[in-house]
Structure 1
Amino acid sequence: MLPCWFYLPLFPDYIMCSGEKWGDPPVPAVSPPTSLGWGGWELLVPALPSWHPPPPFLKDPGIWAPSPLPPALVPADKASGCLSVVPAWGRPGGGPGLGRAPGSAGSKSRRADFVDPESEGLCRVGAGTRPPSSAQRPAQTDQRLQFKDYSGDVWGSGSTHTRNTPAVPGEPNLLRLCSGPWSLAGRGQRLGQESPQPRRDPTMESVQKQWPKVVSAYQYVLTFLFMGPFFSLLVLFLLFTSFWSVSVLYLVWFLLDWDTPNQGGRRFEWTRNWAVWKHARDYYPIKLVKTAELPPDRNYVLGGHPHGIMCIGTFCNFSTEANNFSKQFPGIQVSSAALASLFHFPIYRDYIMSYGICSVNRWSLDFVLSQRRLGQAVIIMVGGAQESLYAIPGKHCLILRNRKGFVRLALRHGASLVPVYSFGENDVFNFKVFATNSWQYMCQITFKKIMGFVPCIFWGHGLFSANSWGLVPFARPITTVVGRPIPVPQRLDPTEEEVDHYHMLYLEALEQLFEDHKESCGVPASTHLTFI
């Protein structure tokens, strides 16, 4: 509200109790504060600047009859340079108008009570006495507004420390009124209890910080499940609309670009560095642990375990820069291998190729490891889609005993084998397990043979409630540990004995990696890997 309204008699008490506040920026207060009392309440406000004309109630003593305040109201030891002017309750002649102040028997004196900060009591100053000069006033930086009744109880208080301090809910909105060097609470003295400072609700703050992480984790699930089918239907739908040319042009591009997934894909570093992946990393959280160096003077075949439902840990650590893989392993360019059928979905194929994902077939992997530039690495989810049937929380079952194709690949190119295990990958979703002799399990296996992936029944929690079912993964820590490389000689036509030998070395290295890090990753010491 405009400052001029605070100069009117009686009106400041009314508007301040209704929640109005001083609307203009605070002006330098160079005069001592003024205390206005009315109706059993006292309002301590800073006086006007010395260059401002005094308000009417200081000019016309006939309207206001100053009288001494009760000593318990404003003790001299708690007031710092306060000019107290108290309105009378009625005119001297009696009647309902202005006159006698409470506690004064027919007082008609026209004087103000000035509380000298150097004195121990109230000193009486005549009506013509001027307030102390600016040189006598102590410079203060904190002001306090308070309503007090005559019993000394605090009705409300507020403080202002800076020019732009916002009002605190529940306090009188006069925070901008008390600013400048003159302070009622200077030198550590307060006229009442300490006013509460604005505080943020920790629950609301945590929700605001957690929300981007939840959305980032959720969008990965939606992209993994629905992006391919959605854009396939969209391209088909546009063929029957006026935008049919868009679908035709893309399908032409789709056919011309058919072999790109078999030639290492088409990566873009800007997609790998999206901030959304850092939010997703922090949601679980996901960590990348390095146990040994990977020199860039050779190539590598990394075996990723376990597959889980969606390979969340492997994707975040190797297909994005959320955990700075390129900085932890400088000189190594890693490509993730995915099902070839995923590259048959329009738009979706281009999206996943931008993260350096290529097709998991012999021609594609041979192309990557045959590059003239060394330091190439491919990470293969050895257990494949079938391993997702064993993505049971708390279990560590790997389909690996008869999976030897990745060992042959390493022998053909002389690439070192590197075991990689993601602790917590199976814990981010609840999973429905069917018995191996049930018809549901047989349907899953049959579907996998036809389509290349297994339909699973899994669930997390809801987007807006942790107590409901949904597709938001549970926030369980995922720690991906990269083991030591196993040197492998180059054999263009490896024998079965060589394949079995290095396969056994790999199993032993993976099991040792699991045993060395399981307890630090929250896995009980009694838990062991199970190879199927």
Structure 2
Amino acid sequence: MKILGIEFAPLYLPLERRLQTLAVLFYVLLFLQTFSIIGFFLFFYLLFTKYFWLSIFYATWYFIDFNRPYSGGRKVAWSRTWSIWKYFKDYFPVKLIKTVDLDPNQNYIFGISPHGVMSFSAMVNFGTDATDFPNLFPGLEPHLITLNGQFYSPLMREFFMMCGACACEEKSLKYILSNKGRCQKKGQVCALLIGGARESNEAYPGNYKFILNRRKGFVRIALETGANLVPVISFGENDAYNTVEVKRGSLIQKIQKFAKKYLNIGLPIIRGRGIFIYNFGLLPYRVPIHTIVGKPIPVKRVEHPTDEQIKKLHEQYIFELLELFEENKIKYLKNPDTKIEIC
């Protein structure tokens, strides 16, 4: 239904689709830090009411618990099975596909590409059980590795840790993969979006530009902990929005670089759809996303890896990533001639 060029959603849609849209809206608001603002507002507001003790209690708890995101997190299993995640998954839909079985007696770093604008597939695949991770990879425990800033807000930190997420810090990954403290058992998976905020600025539809050439920290950690590397590609992640391509040297690109350098966030210029309008909005489009988990690269633990060892393993990882892309692009891309650009 169009009015003055604006395309509205039909008045009558199945309840299932309405719930899917609300589930994705919840995540988009979460990603845009809406709940961080609410969390800080409640914290300071309660200080000036008769419930001030709640804020004081939480501040004490926050101080005591501050290092938890860096030491294995605090996963609450039932939070990963909420119905909202099923609707979130079905909105696109997102599908998790394995190519080989993974040994639960090993630890792994899943290198996920591309980052996309809001990392929808990474969240639903590795921050929830909606795509059936426990049955696809029995014995493995995933930890979605996300920005440290997600763990500063009173509400956000608890939410993300409930989903099994941990902070993106070297000490955090080593704690999980070295089987220390509460992570003594094997089968630990660090699901890491390697390209980060910079890659989100390059999330153009149909584009597979991966920021990898200078990202070698995860390879060094794999060597130091003996964790196997697993390339993971999400076909369709970059198609969720019509991202505007920014000209090199433009003011917008300078702002993006500033945000990346000082705030560690991406600021892609996007156009999506709304709740009731299809022409524009902040919600992603309904595009299928297929996340392919490749075969593991065996890694032998080296306490102090040399630059040459890191370089060799990094090159092998990129080779396996390219192989995984070429083997699967015919199935999941409209244009089979699409190539990966490694930057």
How far apart in 2 are the matches of 1:436 and 1:452?
Answer: 20
> Is structure 2 residue 24 aligned with structure 1 residue 217?
yes
User: 2:168 maps to which residue?
Assistant: 360
> Is structure 2 residue 311 aligned with structure 1 residue 500?
yes
Deviation string, structure 1 residues 95-148 (Cα, Å, up to 9, x no partner):
xxxxxxxxxxxxxxxxxxxxxxxxxxxxxxxxxxxxxxxxxxxxxxxxxxxxxx
User: 1:528 maps to which residue?
Assistant: 339
Larger helix proportion, structure 1 or 2? 2
Matched letter for residue 470 of structure 1: G
> Is structure 2 residue 247 aligned with structure 1 residue 435?
yes
Q: Of 324, 327, 338, which aligns to 1:513? A: 324
Bigger relative contact order, structure 1 or 2 (CA pairs below 8 A, ≥6 apart)? 2
Q: Would you say the 8 A contact 1:263–1:368 is kept in 2?
A: yes
Q: CA deviation at 1:204?
A: 7.6
User: 1:273 maps to which residue?
Assistant: 81
How far apart in 1 are the matches of 2:88 and 2:150?
Answer: 23
Give matches, 1:474-489, under 5 Å: 474-489=285-300
Q: CA deviation at 1:207?
A: 2.9
Give matches, 1:3-402, under 5 Å: 206-225=13-32, 226-371=34-179, 372-402=184-214
TM-score of the superposed pair, with normalisation by structure 1: 0.60
Q: Would you say the 8 A contact 1:341–1:452 is kept in 2?
A: no
How far apart in 1 are the matches of 2:302 and 2:265?
Answer: 32
TM-score of the superposed pair, with normalisation by structure 2: 0.93
Q: Would you say the 8 A contact 2:231–2:321 is kept in 1?
A: yes
- SS of residue paired to 1:519: helix
Q: CA deviation at 1:401?
A: 1.0
Q: Rg bigger for which structure?
A: 1
Q: Of 454, 462, 471, which aligns to 2:282? A: 471
How far apart in 2 are the matches of 1:247 and 1:460?
Answer: 37
Q: CA deviation at 1:446?
A: 1.4
How far apart in 1 are the matches of 2:113 and 2:37?
Answer: 27
Q: Would you say the 8 A contact 2:202–2:268 is kept in 1?
A: no
Unaligned runs of 5+ in 1: 1-202
Q: CA deviation at 1:378?
A: 0.5
Matched letter for residue 358 of structure 1: C
- SS of residue paired to 2:28: helix
Deviation string, structure 1 residues 481-503 (Cα, Å, up to 9, x no partner):
00000011110100111111111
Alpha-carbon RMSD across the aligned residues, in angstroms, is: 1.4
How far apart in 2 are the matches of 1:503 and 1:431?
Answer: 29
Unaligned runs of 5+ in 2: 1-9
How far apart in 1 are the matches of 2:13 and 2:272?
Answer: 21
Matched letter for residue 414 of structure 1: G
How far apart in 2 are the matches of 1:290 and 1:252?
Answer: 43
How far apart in 1 are the matches of 2:97 and 2:273?
Answer: 28
How far apart in 2 are the matches of 1:447 and 1:394?
Answer: 25
How far apart in 1 are the matches of 2:327 and 2:259?
Answer: 37
Q: Of 444, 454, 458, which aligns to 2:266? A: 454
Identity %: 37
